[in-house]
Structure 1
Amino acid sequence: MTNRPEGDARAERNARRAAARERAQRTRTQQKRRQRGVRIGLQVGLGVVLIAAATIVTLVLVNSSRPAGPGPDTMADGGITIGAGLKAVEPGAASTPSPSSTASAEQVRITLYVDYLCPICGSFEQTNSEYIEGLVDSGAATLDVHPVAILTNRSQGTKYSLRAANAAACVAQESPDSFFAVNRALFAAQPEEGTPGLTDEQLADVVTTVPGVRKGSTIEQCIEDQRYGKWVDERTTAVTGGDIPGSELTTFPGTPLVLVNGQQYPYSTASTNDEFRTFVVSAAGSTETTPTPTPSATPTASATPSGSASPTAG
């Protein structure tokens, strides 16, 4: 073993200590940098999360407060009016519906609030559609049809009521003179309540294959886009909340709501066409103004989904 002077040994120990202190200092500095980086990363990540959450909340609030787009031009009050020849009547051309008014002194005003999934609506259609068609076609009555979506939650999540009402609204906008026949075709193709109902493609097929329907491709796109879906939803909310044009009712009794000159017809599945005819006579005020449509060939119960319903009586 080599002996070294005491001074050299001391210097070597001091150098080792200095080197150890330097390494320790570097380690602490690196740790502080890593910790600072972690804190910055957490802060940035939290900031991104907060910004994203704020954006989502803003979008939800904007969408929930955004008013529905305009409805069809022919449905100013939520319903379309059908007159002589089964042609659509432009809003304002007929008097505004009220419990005591009709389109003219000789006409009866029939108003229907319908849901295309409602089985009782389907029964009313099957029982009375041919009679109503004769009245309206001849000019003895006008017909207001208000599609609503009361049973939107009764189709296994597909929102069939809303989609069908939207399809009707698409026709009211693009091919209004075909509305009566399309309304009949939608009921002829009515699915059972509690089933998924028709797809949008099937709805489009039912609607656009009705003879006389114009702008088929535009209607198909309207159905696919659910152009009037939000409008239908908001009109349904308004109606169920007591805003019921054509009556003095403040509480919506459900579908079908049938009004004749503003008077509610107490329809049930046991009702007959004779009973409805009698009610129309009574609501007309006297037999002298009772509508008497021109006789036609033996009517069929309803149209088929392929649109075999004719827009004229017969």
Structure 2
Amino acid sequence: MTQAPGSKQAKRISARERIQEAQRREQQSARRRQRIVVAVSAAVVLALAGGVAVAIGSASGKADKAGAAATSAPLVVPANAGGPNGTVITYGKADAPHTMEVYEDFRCPVCKHFEAANGETVKKLTDDGQVKVEFHLAAFLDKNLGGKGSRTALAAAGAALNEGVDKFKAFHDVLYANQPDEREDGFGDVGHLLDLAGQVPGLKTDAFVKAVTDKTYAPWAAKVADAFNDSGVTGTPTVKVDGKPVTLFAGNAVVPPEQFTAQVKQAAGLQ
């Protein structure tokens, strides 16, 4: 029997149909999210198995501008930022004759493998003043995986940079040491980022906490992510020394510190 539009039974049926339709759409969204996670996780495995340093999706387009709503606030560039429009973070002596460019995304699991194996080596290579490191940070994994962890962590890193380059580097290392599973958006939680900042002595000043909580450097983080997208680098991690690419993986493993160091010195003409 066809019910009249205004009857109580018709209204009950209409409400039930709306609920069913909403459930159907949510199930479709869940399936899409699952496909993205599976595809990205598979990319990580294939990248490591094939010795590919560039992994986890592509940075083509202006994906990170999806966070434009969060970047409508005034642009505040952290102290100690450098490069075009303050989008580059330089670690080491600014007048070092050779430059190592490091391209990373805080949510990138392959970057975590690289940092675990050679992060300390990167730091040591700056000690003699021959090599400085320029960090170019991305946020494309927020689009690929959903969430806001890359952008939020990048903005928090900006607050750390404002406290000092050494504070930034220490916070950078803590983030990679405590990186959540790529299927989770743990870095999207400001409270969690502040907890991790507590592992860096002297970082959690009142100014730092306020900047992270207020997302003061979110507009800057968007500019940094856009600069990565414009760099021509299509994935993370990528390392170049004086413009020459460095091989980060051999077979199914990260190259050991000795091999990484030898490549850096060869590219810089230090051998």
Residues 1:270 and 2:253 are matched in the alignment:
yes
Task: Provide, for residues 283-308 of structure 1, a one-character-per-residue CA deviation record: whole Å limited to 9, x for no partner.
Answer: 12241xxxxxxxxxxxxxxxxxxxxx
Partner of 1:178: 167
CA–CA distance in structure 2, aligned partners of residues 114 and 201 of structure 1: 23
1:16-70 residue CA offsets vs partner (Å, 9 max, x unmatched) = xxxxxxxxxxxxxxxxxxxxxxxxxxxxxxxxxxxxxxxxxxxxxx979968603
Which amino acid is the alignment partner of residue 265 of structure 1?
V
Match of 2:78 among 72, 87, 97: 72
Structure 1 residue 121 displacement after superposition:
0.8
Amino acid corresponding to residue 129 of structure 1 in structure 2: G
Separation in structure 2 between the aligned mates of residue 64 and residue 116 of structure 1, nearest angstrom: 18
| 2:139 paired with 1:133 | no
8 Å Cα contact 2:186-2:192 kept in structure 1: no
The structural deviation recorded for 1:270 is: 2.5
**Whose Rg is larger?**
1
Q: Which amino acid aligns with 1:254?
A: G
Greater relative contact order structure (CA < 8 Å, 6+ sep): 2
Q: Is the 8 A contact 1:208 1:219 kept in 2?
A: no
Q: Using the alignment, how far apart are the partners of 1:113 and 1:263 within structure 2?
A: 13
Q: Give 1:165 shift.
A: 0.6
Q: 1:279 to 1:205 in 2, by over 3 A?
A: same
Identity %: 30
1:153 aligned counterpart, secondary structure:
helix
2:133 is aligned to: 143
- Partners of 1:156 and 1:142 lie apart in 2 by 33
Q: Does 1:231 align with 2:215?
A: no
Q: Gaps spanning 5+ residues in structure 1: where?
A: 1-61, 85-93, 96-102, 245-250, 288-314
Rounded Cα–Cα distance in structure 1 between residues aligned with 2:92 and 2:241:
15
Secondary structure of 2:135's counterpart equals strand
Pick closer, same or farther for the CA change 1:207–1:282 going to 2, 3 Å: same
Distance in 2, matches of 1:109 and 1:121, equals 19
Q: Flag structure 2 segments of 5+ consecutive residues without an equivalent.
A: 1-67
Deviations 1:247-295 (A, max 9, x none): xxxx2221112111221223336331233122112112241xxxxxxxx
Query: Quick one: distance in 2 between partners of 1:193 and 1:64?
Result: 22
Coordinate RMSD, CA, aligned: 2.6
Structure 1 length normalisation: TM-score? 0.57
The 3-state SS of whatever aligns with 1:72 is coil
Cα deviation code 1:204-225 (max 9, x no counterpart): 1212331242x52211111111
Give yes or no for contact 2:76–2:216 (8 Å, CA) kept in 1: no
Cα distance in 2, alignment partners of residues 64 and 187 from structure 1: 24
AA of the residue aligned to 2:162: Q
State the Cα distance separating 1:187 from its structure 2 match.
0.5
Q: Distance in 1 between matches of 2:77 and 2:138?
A: 13
Matched with 1:279 is 263
